[in-house]
Amino acid sequence: MKYRNFNRAIALTLFLVAVGLAFWMFANLDFIGSRIDGNVFSLLPKSERNPVAEEFVNRIAKSGEKSAVILIGSSNLDTALAAEKEFRFQIKNLDLKSLSLEGGLTEYIAVLEKHKSGLVTPEDELLLKNQSARFWYERSNALAYSPSNVGIPWKDDPFGLLGNWLNRLVGSTKVYPQGDSLIASQDSVSYAVVPLEINSSIDSIQSQNILADAINLAIENTKDKYQGISVIRSGVVFIASDTSKTAQRDIAVIGLVSAICALILVASIFRSFYAIAAVLMTVSIAFLYAFLTCIYIFPKVYVLTLAFGTSLIGMSVDYCLYWLTGSIGDNKSPFERRRYLLPGMLLALATTVMGYLLLIMTPFPVLSQMAVFSISGIIAAWVTVIFLFPFITKLRFSSNKANALPHFIQPGFFGDISILRYLLISAILLTSFYGAFTFKANDDIRSLASFNKSLVKEQSEASKILDIPSPSQFFIVTGSSELEVLSQTDALTKKLDALISQGFITGYRAITQYVPSVEVQNNASAAYISPNKDEAIKKVAKEMGMRPNWVKSETQVSSPITLADISILPIYKRLNYLWFDSSPSVRSTAVLLMGVKGEESVEQLSRLASSEVDWIDKPQEISNIFYRYRKLFSYIILAGYFLTFIAIYMKYKLDSWRAVIPPIFATFITLAILTLMGESIGLLSIIAFALLLGVGTDYGIFLLQYPRDRRILFSISIAALMTLISFGSLSFSSVPALHSFGLTLLIGVSLSWLLTLFFAKRPASDA
């Protein structure tokens, strides 16, 4: 009696704690909402790279995250500008800053003038070396008699040398002002460019979604008013919002489908309201603990965790089913039943949790979170079944037609007809070999990216029109001093110039375009003091009636410009992300690239790397990490099977292979089927196989533990069906990662169930 009371106390405590937590959660929905992270970029693996490069990647990503650009295009510039006005009116109340044109060019030019002897284009340098005094005299006159000199007054740049240098720098921007607007054009379409900065108040998915929706609505309204315009969106906010919405829709649909299917199944088997209530309660408690554990451990809970976590419904239902089917037509007391089921359930829990623990070892924060979510949820479900179910007195069911189903399921079938059995075994072996040796691996991160294709297209179109450098492929030049870094950068850009002329890239952005290295400036200065040019300047000075000291100022070598000269200017704000003083002895700078054209360009670019020049290729790096972890995971699975085998062996000795072999063959045959379906195998499929190890061995364990219990056979069949429902529904997800995970498990679990029955020991009573 004491034992019973003790148990009752535990059950009551567990129940009250769960109810309390549920109340707490509902009371703090706002807080919980703020802890959900919809940012797809946080799903990328923790990098293993050097901190300087990482800092750069972060900076470039950060500057990209808060900004967005809308391009409003029309073949008629006036239409584009009118539509822009309408669009700006539509978004005027949103949480956005419209970026204005950054000025500061005048101050920059004033600084340049002080260092002009070193600021000469390579073309002019050549002319300075080769051209006669007459040429320079005529060039100076030509500029004086032209209707207008742009930017720099004639007296400060009588040969247009600095003007040419400046034009090469600022002239390459594809965006130019037109009245109050910014204009870019491509293929006879004029675009009004609307650069936007998202206010820092936009930090949660909800506010991000609201903003993206509002901008999209403004675009639609503008399009309605101005037929025929094209609008191109560029910005992380659109992709992030779209992805989080897809994920949320998937959660809703997949969660609902698996829940409804689970309930229909339970209702048709047990025909009892209490059975349904018990299942719902278990699932809710599992979800509650899973979610709260993640909130407790992680600063943010990823939307994808929740999407993945819906499969937890299926897993926690499994434990209910073992109990509930165990109660059909059973006269044991609840505590006897618990003692009866405990060994099987404990081993099943242990092997499943082992499967999920393997997930924690991956470098992807979202996967470790999924594992924590699942482990805590499953343990909560298990505890609920073991400690609460014995007190739900109404969980006692009589047999009905549905319960007769297991009589058609025959463990160890085809046991008698040995030829057929051997044929089947050889077929299993052959297919397994086929799967093991023909599958196509694919570790390309881009094949897992679930980003909306049209948005990605818009993004790349915008980059092309505006010539935005790539945030994921660039160089980092590191050295011990500014001098060293700038000269290394100049050496690199010289090589990049060659790649531009060969068409591998369209351009680059480097700090040396603003502050050339001392070598480059010294070479320019050496050319600048050309005797022919100096002869011309004297003649020009005489004719134009210049002051005597003018000749001196136009013939002397000035000191080289340094970063310190421009770091105080407003224009530097646009450049400072290129420069990084990581420590007093380490300086580095990024060289960003425009128009990188496919693999061949990447190949060419990667060859430019050296000990001082790092080639950063983020997608390739992630793909490499995927590859490495896919390999690692394969070994972990092998180890997992070995450990599971040992765990089972301690109890079931020689029969243990019956629990371990089925999921192994299921894995290989799944590989074969996926290959035949044209699916390639990535890290996510391998992770699915790791889970199959946990789930699949459960069936075998239960058959080994209760070989004569028809109810258990029934349980594992329903459990397999439930898992199919929950994981199968994941294969319908539009998130490719979830899809391949779901599909792999859908096939794997079916096969595993089938093979478990196939390899099961025939019950003694039937023999």
Smallest separation (angstroms) from another protein to the CB of 507: 9
Helices (H), 406-530: 418-438, 445-448, 453-466, 482-501, 518-528
Binding window for another protein (CB under 8 A); candidates: 154-162, 217-225, 370-378, 630-638: 154-162
Site string for another protein, 105-124 (x = CB under 8 A): xx------------------
- Of 141, 230, 562, 734, the residue at the interface with another protein (CB under 8 A) is 141
Smallest separation (angstroms) from another protein to the CB of 505: 14
Cβ 288 vs Cβ 380: under 8 Å: yes
Site string for another protein, 521-560 (x = CB under 8 A): ----------------------xxxxx--x----------
Q: How many residues bind another protein (CB under 8 A)?
A: 51
Q: Does 187 bind another protein (CB under 8 A)?
A: no
Of the pair 128, 324, the CB lying nearest another protein is at 128
CA–CA separation, 106 vs 265, rounded Å? 75
CA–CA separation, 558 vs 526, rounded Å? 11
Q: Which amino acid type is present at position 659?
A: A
Binding window for another protein (CB under 8 A); candidates: 65-73, 162-170, 479-487, 527-535: 162-170
- Of 20, 33, 171, 228, the residue at the interface with another protein (CB under 8 A) is 171
Q: Report in angstroms the alpha-carbon separations of 752 from 104, 168, 169, 345, 724.
A: 69, 66, 64, 18, 11
Q: Does 170 bind another protein (CB under 8 A)?
A: yes
Q: Does 135 bind another protein (CB under 8 A)?
A: yes
Helix (H, G, I), strand (E, B) or coil at 501: helix
Of the pair 146, 559, the CB lying nearest another protein is at 146
Smallest separation (angstroms) from another protein to the CB of 534: 18
Binding window for another protein (CB under 8 A); candidates: 27-35, 166-174, 245-253, 620-628: 166-174
Cβ 298 vs Cβ 368: under 8 Å: no
Kindly tell me the burial class for residue 63, based on how many C-beta atoms sit within 10 Å of its own C-beta (0-12, 13-18, 19 or more): exposed
Q: Does 22 bind another protein (CB under 8 A)?
A: no
Smallest separation (angstroms) from another protein to the CB of 168: 7
Helix axis angle, 365-388 relative to 273-297, nearest 10°?
140
Smallest separation (angstroms) from another protein to the CB of 174: 5
Radius of gyration of the chain (CA): 35
Smallest separation (angstroms) from another protein to the CB of 152: 8
Between the CA atoms of 10, 13, 16 and 17, what dihedral angle is there, to the nearest 10 degrees? -110
Of the pair 164, 715, the CB lying nearest another protein is at 164
Of the pair 73, 742, the CB lying nearest another protein is at 73
- Of 151, 329, 343, 503, the residue at the interface with another protein (CB under 8 A) is 151
Of the pair 154, 645, the CB lying nearest another protein is at 154
Q: Does 155 bind another protein (CB under 8 A)?
A: yes
Smallest separation (angstroms) from another protein to the CB of 156: 8
Nearest to 438 by CA among 679, 664, 640, 665: 679
- Of 148, 188, 549, 765, the residue at the interface with another protein (CB under 8 A) is 148
- Of 9, 16, 19, 142, the residue at the interface with another protein (CB under 8 A) is 142
Binding window for another protein (CB under 8 A); candidates: 17-25, 75-83, 303-311, 313-321: 75-83
Site string for another protein, 76-105 (x = CB under 8 A): -xx--x-------------------xxxxx
- Of 39, 117, 164, 512, the residue at the interface with another protein (CB under 8 A) is 164
Structure tokens at 133: 């005094």
Query: Cβ–Cβ contacts within 10 Å for residue 553, how many?
Result: 15
Q: Does 584 bind another protein (CB under 8 A)?
A: no
Of the pair 139, 233, the CB lying nearest another protein is at 139
Kindly tell me the burial class for residue 326, based on how many C-beta atoms sit within 10 Å of its own C-beta (0-12, 13-18, 19 or more): buried
Q: Report in angstroms the alpha-carbon separations of 627 from 84, 669, 751.
A: 46, 22, 26
String of DSSP letters for 677-745: TTPPB-HHHHHHHHHHHHHHHHHHHHHHHSTT-HHHHHHHHHHHHHHHHHHHHHTT-SSHHHHHHHHHH
Of the pair 183, 324, the CB lying nearest another protein is at 183
Cβ 651 vs Cβ 411: under 8 Å: no
Residue with tokens 């129940």: 15
- Contacts of residue 75, Cβ cutoff 8 Å, sequence gap at least 6: 188, 189, 190
- Contacts of residue 530, Cβ cutoff 8 Å, sequence gap at least 6: 128, 129, 136
Smallest separation (angstroms) from another protein to the CB of 177: 4
- Name residue 96's beta-bridge partners: 198
- Contacts of residue 277, Cβ cutoff 8 Å, sequence gap at least 6: none
Cβ 378 vs Cβ 316: under 8 Å: yes
Binding window for another protein (CB under 8 A); candidates: 139-147, 240-248, 371-379, 518-526: 139-147
Q: Does 34 bind another protein (CB under 8 A)?
A: no
Site string for another protein, 216-235 (x = CB under 8 A): --------------------
Cβ 192 vs Cβ 71: under 8 Å: yes
- Of 143, 253, 424, 456, the residue at the interface with another protein (CB under 8 A) is 143
- How far out from the chain centre does Cα 180 lie? 37
- Contacts of residue 363, Cβ cutoff 8 Å, sequence gap at least 6: 45, 46, 48, 625, 629
Binding window for another protein (CB under 8 A); candidates: 168-176, 349-357, 572-580, 746-754: 168-176
Q: Which amino acid type is present at position 102?
A: E
CA–CA separation, 267 vs 155, rounded Å? 92
- Of 145, 296, 408, 635, the residue at the interface with another protein (CB under 8 A) is 145
Q: Does 153 bind another protein (CB under 8 A)?
A: yes
Q: Which amino acid type is present at position 13?
A: T
Of the pair 36, 192, the CB lying nearest another protein is at 192
- Of 115, 139, 337, 658, the residue at the interface with another protein (CB under 8 A) is 139
Smallest separation (angstroms) from another protein to the CB of 130: 12
- Of 61, 133, 154, 463, the residue at the interface with another protein (CB under 8 A) is 154
Of the pair 140, 244, the CB lying nearest another protein is at 140
Structure tokens at 628: 């490495």
Structure tokens at 451: 């980003």
Of residues 341-400, those binding another protein (CB under 8 A)? none
Helix (H, G, I), strand (E, B) or coil at 322: helix
Smallest separation (angstroms) from another protein to the CB of 224: 24
List interacting residues with another protein (CB under 8 A): 77-78, 81, 101-106, 134-135, 138-139, 141-155, 160, 164, 167-168, 170-180, 183-184, 543-547, 550
